[in-house]
């Protein structure tokens, strides 16, 4: 998954990115997330466990 950091940072003046960060820090799925990132899996499988999946989907890079 490739997230456009500029899009992510500009959503609602950066507040959405800050909320997503805080959600990640308190998430109980950190092992699933690490495994998902290491595999380079697609967004569909991220939605199975990630409370920030919608945010990441909205901030995808359009390559």
State residue 63's pLDDT score: 57
pLDDT tens digits, 6-31: 999 998 888 999 999 999 999 999 88
Say if residue 33's pLDDT is above 60: yes
When pLDDT is cut at 50, 70 and 90, the band that residue 46 belongs to is confident
pTM as predicted? 0.74
- The stretch 42-56 carries a mean pLDDT of 83
Say if residue 1's pLDDT is above 70: no
Find the DSSP H helices in 1-63: 5-10, 15-25, 30-39, 43-46, 53-58
């Amino acid at each position: 998954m490739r997230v456009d950091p500029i899009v992510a940072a500009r959503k609602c003046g950066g507040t959405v990115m800050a909320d997503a960060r805080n959600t990640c820090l308190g998430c109980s799925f950190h092992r699933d997330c690490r495994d998902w990132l290491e595999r380079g899996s697609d967004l569909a499988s991220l939605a199975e466990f990630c409370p920030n999946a919608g945010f990441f989907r909205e901030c995808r890079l359009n390559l």
